[in-house]
Amino acid sequence: MYPFQIKTKEAYHKSYQQSIEDPETFWASVANHFQWKKKWDKVLEWNFNEPNVKWFSGAKLNITENCLDRHLEKNANTPAILWESNDPEEHHRVLTYKELHFKVMQFANVLKSNGVKKGDRICIYMGMIPELAIATLACARIGAIHSVIFGGFSAQAIADRLQDASAEFIITCDGAFRGAKDIPLKSVIDDALVGNKTVKRVIVCTRTRTPVSMIKGRDVWWEDEIKKVETLGNPDCPAEIMDAEDILFILYTSGSTGKPKGVVHSTAGYMVWTNYTFVNVFQYQPAQVHFCTADIGWITGHSYIVYGPLSAGATTLMFEGIPTWPDAGRFWEIVDKYKVDILYTAPTAIRSLMGFGLDYIKGKDLSSLKVLGSVGEPINEEAWNWFHKNIGKGKCPIVDTWWQTETGGIMISNMANVTPAKPSFATLPLPGIQPCLMDENGKEIEGKNVSGNLCIKAPWPGMIRTTYGDHDRCKQTYFSAYENKYFTGDGCLRDAEGNYRITGRVDDVLNVSGHRIGTAEVENAINMHAGVIESAVVGYPHDIKGQGIYAYVIHDGSHGDPNLTKQDILQTVSRIIGPIAKPDKIQFVPGLPKTRSGKIMRRILRKIAEGDTGNLGDTSTLLDPSLVDVIKDGKIN
Ligand code: WT7
């Protein structure tokens, strides 16, 4: 079924070797198994200095033909999407490949009739309903560039992203259900659009029946627009012919500066990479049910709910809700109900469910499970063991998949039942991936049992092409720290067998519940509060979230009750970024430890937040060393 699916450890080593020795032949042989309108002239052209990376140049294709049309002959009635509501009582939905194909074409026609053209940017801000996948694929069908924004981001965050991408269209819902909450998505969009000059049309899909205000000439209902195209008769929407390197989507992610960047992925390479990694890492077999618990608003959802599984003709399960509502048995109930084969989730979810005890697993039949997966942050051994024993019943391999928004798909991971797992290690690079560890002086660290900054030496098909509208930023962020290498921002260790263990970010980026949050972004948001003079944000170990957000704030005393101010600061961060970026702890401080040149010594703040105050290192270069004791004494536990 999948000619390039690797079946044994030996075959892995052989493929790996081939992929490094002759990448062009290797990837051409993989790419041959996709549907092209025209094949490539050249498999790979690259230079990391500009950077300029082109895979399959000259090729013409449409990714939706690979995700939909090509499955119709044999698998028209295979379920493409299984959808489970937030509400366990609401009937689930099944969309076969035939139905999904139909709905994507239908909505693609809606987009066209609303004036969307190839290359236009469309922002999608929806909850986890099948229409989100339909909207995403409909954009790809006509060559429009989607920019999906997670439903937890605030109006301000959306406004910034709309502006950065100069988006002209928005697809949203009246609201979204998440656990006991009902999030008024359309109303958030309305706030984001105050002062916006580029957006011409907002298409609103009905979900929650939350009252919304529809602005004349700008806002239309999804359902009405569908009816309009229906009356035109022909539901077909031929796939736009795209160049291999045409942009497929933009996805915003945080970095070490205050402004999120639009990571750009192109069409052919991303398709080949998500499909190849999906089929190999999870060892997907036809008719299996794949359940990735991420939201499509993040890269994990793009690659392993939508494009990877659908391009492989798989059945992908979309879940609207959250793991702990109505109770902490929700995932297990879903596994039982749909006989899930592959469960791909995040360590933070596992740790949180662990805390609820084993009662929620009792009576749930998990025997359909064959493969478990983890992504987003290092999985600690305790969570690994719990997952392995209680969910996998000791017989399911766990794939620990390391990758990033920028890498498009999984980079370092064991492959289920093919290469061995090692708890807390992502283990081995996939074919095509050449990791290396670098020291501070830009020298590669060779050998075993060593650690350094993780870089990648050569291009892979799914890699970032640029940061939208600012190519130089892409170069500075990823290709300038080390010559001729892609810098991941992660620290990493390599053991005696060549297994890699990611040790966490080495830049000012936090990983909170598997979400990337830049400290500078949170600081900017905090500083917007009228009662704040200055702030510094660091991470600290958090039992469930992996990292928590610790904020040191210089508070303007004239603004009254400090406890109220703390609440107000949280409110401000929610408003500027979204609730996911709210600090877990706020400490008011009289000053921040700075060097004589005015640089904040974050190292010291990090140590204090971590509770590791025994050895703060050299504090003699501080402008005011006595400040450190004051901050230590005021630490929030
Ligand atoms: C950062 C990327 C890629 C999907 C989700 C997050 C961390 C991701 C692992 C893992 C250790 C991991 C890294 C990486 N990370 N997976 N298996 N083990 N760390 O995407 O938001 O782009 O974040 O997540 O620090 O750089 P993202």
pLDDT tens digits for range 119-138: 999 999 999 999 999 999 99
pLDDT for 243: 98
How many angstroms does the Cα of residue 402 sit away from the middle of ligand 1? 6
Closest CA to 176 of 125, 222, 123, 224: 125
492 Cβ partners below 8 Å, 6+ apart? Answer: 435, 437, 451, 452, 453, 454, 500, 501, 502, 503
Average confidence score pLDDT of the chain? 96
Q: Hey, whose CA ends up nearest to atom 24 of ligand 1?
A: 376
Report, as an integer, the average pLDDT of 205-210.
98
Q: Checking phi first, is residue 331 left (phi over 0); if not, alpha (psi -120 to 50) or beta?
A: alpha
Q: Residue ranges of the domains in the chain?
A: 9-64+271-505, 65-240, 513-633
Alpha-carbon distances, residue 456 vs 278, 453, 487 (angstroms): 20, 10, 7
Task: Work out the end-to-end distance of the chain between its first and last CA atoms, rounded to an integer number of angstroms.
Answer: 55
Q: Is 490 in the pocket of ligand 1 (CB under 6 A)?
A: yes
Question: What's the rounded Cα separation, in Å, for the pair 323 and 307?
Answer: 23
Q: Which residue's alpha carbon is nearest to atom 23 within ligand 1?
A: 404
Please write down the HEC assignment for all residues of 552-580.
EEEECHHHCCHHHHHHHHHHHHHHHCCHH
Which is nearest to 303 in space by CA: 409, 376, 407, 403?
Answer: 409
Q: Are 307 and 274 in contact (CB under 8 A)?
A: yes
Q: Which of 96-100, 313-317, 480-484, 558-562 has the lowest mean pLDDT?
A: 558-562
- Which DSSP symbol is given to 335? H
Side-chain-facing half-sphere of 393: CA atoms under 13 Å: 10
Q: Does the Cβ of 511 fall within 6 Å of ligand 1?
A: yes
In whole angstroms, give the CA distance from residue 85 to residue 95.
14
What stretches of 232-288 show up as alpha helix (H) in DSSP? 267-281
Q: Give the position of tokens 């084993």.
A: 358
Amino acid letter, 259: K
- If you take atom 6 of ligand 1, which residue's CA is the nearest one? 376
521-538 burial: b if 16+ Cβ within 10 Å, else e = bbbbbbbebebbebbbbb
**Phi, psi (rounded to 5 degrees) for 524:** -55, -40
> Among residues 88, 305, 94, 91, which one has the least CA distance to residue 179?
88
Task: Evaluate whether 9-64+271-505 and 513-633 have a shared fold.
Answer: no
What is the 485 CA–ligand 1 centroid distance (Å)? 19
| In the predicted structure, residue 112 carries a pLDDT above the cut 70 | yes
CATH of 513-633 given 3.30.300.30, 3.30.70.20, 3.40.50.300, 3.90.1150.10: 3.30.300.30
* pLDDT given at position 256: 84
Q: Is the pLDDT of residue 560 over 80?
A: no
Encode pLDDT of 448-467 as tens digits: 999 999 999 999 999 999 99
CA of residue 546 to ligand 1 center, whole Å: 12
Euclidean distance between CA atoms 584 and 552, whole angstroms = 11
Q: Which atom of ligand 1 is nearest to the CA of 509?
A: 25
Ligand 1 binding pocket includes 400 (Cβ within 6 Å): yes
Residues contacting residue 234 through CB under 8 Å, at least 6 positions apart: none
CA 302, CA 405: separation in Å to the nearest integer? 10
Which residue stretches of 252-399 are H helix?
267-281, 299-301, 308-311, 330-338, 347-354, 381-386
Give nearest CA residue, ligand 1 atom 13. 377
What spacing in Å lies between the alpha carbon of 417 and ligand 1's midpoint? 23
Ligand 1 centre to CA of 398 (Å) is 16
Pair of tokens at residue 126: 């929806």
**Ligand 1 contacts CB of residue 402 (under 6 A):** yes
Dist CA 310 CA 295 (whole Å): 16
Give the span between the Cα atoms of 536 and 551, in whole angstroms: 6
CA distance 372 to 164: 37
Beta strands, E only, 110-260: 121-125, 145-148, 169-173, 176-178, 181-183, 201-205, 219-221, 242-243, 247-253
Q: How confident is the model at residue 51 (pLDDT cuts 50, 70, 90)?
A: very high
Residue whose tokens read 């992908």: 316
- pLDDT above 80: residue 562: no
Res 558 pLDDT > 80 = no
Atom of ligand 1 nearest to the CA of 300: 4
Q: What is the CATH number of domain 65-240?
A: 3.40.50.980
How would residue 56 be classed by pLDDT, with cut points 50, 70 and 90?
very high
Stretch among 191-195, 366-370, 596-600 having the lowest mean pLDDT: 596-600
pLDDT of residue 113: 97
- Which residue from 145, 185, 141, 184 is spatially nearest to 164, judged by alpha carbons? 145
Cα separation of 29 and 35, whole Å? 13
Ligand 1 contact, 254 CB (< 6 A) = no
Question: Strands 201-205, 219-221: parallel, antiparallel or unpaired by DSSP?
Answer: parallel
The answer, yes or no, to whether residue 559 has pLDDT greater than 70, is no
Residue of the CA atom closest to atom 7 of ligand 1 = 377
Q: How close is the Cα of 194 to the center of ligand 1, in Å?
A: 34
Residue owning the nearest CA to atom 1 of ligand 1: 404
- Centre of ligand 1 from the C-alpha of residue 479, in Å: 19
Options 1.10.240.10, 3.40.50.12780, 3.40.50.2020, 3.10.20.30; CATH for 9-64+271-505 is 3.40.50.12780
Which residues touch 92 (CB under 8 Å, ≥6 apart)?
82, 83, 84, 85, 337
Side-chain-side CA neighbours of 55 within 13 Å: the count stands at: 28
